[in-house]
Amino acid sequence: MEKQYQVTVKGTLQQNGPLTIKKTVILDQKQAGTFTGANRYEVIEAFLKIHYPGAKIPNIRNFGVEVKAL
C-alpha cells in the first residue's frame, strides 16, 4: 500500500467578502508532492478552482500548504 499524506491548504479567497480557507485532503505520495514542487502555485490554484468555483484569488502567493505523512 502506498504511503498517504494529509495536505492542508490555507489562505483567503474573495467571495462576497473574504473567505478563509483551511481545506484538508488525503492524497498519495505523487499527488502530495505536486503541492511542494516547482509548480506548486499552479497546483494550489487548480485545487482552489475545483473546490471553490467562482471565488476570486487575490494573490496565489498568499496561500500556504502543509503536507504531513500519515
What is the secondary structure of 16-45 as a DSSP string? Answer: SSEEEEEEEEEEEHHHHHHTTSTTHHHHHH
pLDDT at 20: 93
Band (37; pLDDT cuts 50, 70, 90): confident
As a whole number, mean pLDDT of residues 46-65 equals: 92
Closest C-alpha to 60, from 2, 51, 46, 7 = 46
Inter-residue contact 10 to 66 (CB < 8 Å): yes
| Cα–Cα nearest to 35, from 60, 7, 69 | 7
Q: Does position 1 have pLDDT exceeding 80, yes or no?
A: no
Write down the pTM of the prediction: 0.86
Q: In one letter, which amino acid is 51?
A: H
Q: What is the mean pLDDT of residues 21-35?
A: 93
